[in-house]
Every structure is written in structure tokens, then in C-alpha cells.
Amino acid sequence: MNREKKKESLVFLLQTANKIFGEKKLLEMLVAEGAPKNKDLTQIVEDEKLRFLHLTMALKNSEIFLDHLHTRLSEMSAIAKIIEVGNPDLLEKWLSDDCKPCLIEHVVEGYDEIYKILIELDDRLLWHGWPLIGKLHDPIE
């Protein structure tokens, strides 16, 4: 995995984990697994010493995170299947794995598949014409 893809994957996982645990708790979990100390999340992503191993080991031990990740991937898979984008069968394969902590590894290794679905959802759902409609009918006036 090239440097940019690694960084994108780490940012994706760290942002999600941060929403669940908060920065302080997440940093404690990472440091407990050997990640660089005395940094905030923005700095730690830029640190060359940060490894997926630090993050995956910290998150693999968290039932809360694994449940959130499972839910999000299930929703993404269902939507991708309905609108026929990406590879929802691959996501379903990941979700059917009995090894819950392995879900994190699947996401890291297959982030390209998740990214394709997210981009397509963005293109289809977040239409650039929405602001125009708001300007044509301003509910405040």
C-alpha cells in the first residue's frame, strides 16, 4: 500500500474511532499498543512511526468500535446493493466472517472498495444542485 493510501485508511479509521471514544481515550488506546506518545490525532497520523498494527490492535480489543464498524458496513453494503455500485458482495463477505476483529483488517486491506462506494454515493446523493434550490426558495424570507 502506498503512503497516501495508508494515510487515507488510517484517517478513516481514526476519525471513526475518535467519534466513538473521544481523542483522549483513543490516544490512550494507541499508546498502550506502542504508538508514538505526546501527540494529538492530527500529528499522530503524520508520524512515520505510526503503524496499522498500533491502530488495529487498539481497535480489535474494542467491542464498541467493532459493533459500530459492523453496523456502518452493513448499511453501506445494503445501499450499494440497492443502487448497484461498488462491490457490496465483498462487504457482505467481510461481514459474514466469524472473526469480528478481522473486520478491521478487511477494511484496511480493501479500503479501495469502500472508497469507490463512498464516491459513488457522494456523486448520486450529494447533488451539486441542492444549494441552487435553497437560493430559489429561502424559507426565512
Q: What is the pLDDT of residue 138?
A: 57
Q: What is the pLDDT of residue 75?
A: 94
Q: What is the pLDDT of residue 1?
A: 58
d(CA 38, CA 73): 32
The reply to whether the predicted model has a pTM over 0.85 is no
Q: Where are the domains of the chain?
A: 3-125
* Per-residue pLDDT in tens (0 to 9) along the chain, 141 residues: 577 777 777 787 788 888 888 989 988 988 888 888 877 888 887 887 878 778 878 888 888 888 988 999 999 999 999 989 999 999 999 999 888 888 888 887 888 889 889 888 888 888 777 767 666 665 555
Q: What is the pLDDT of residue 73?
A: 93
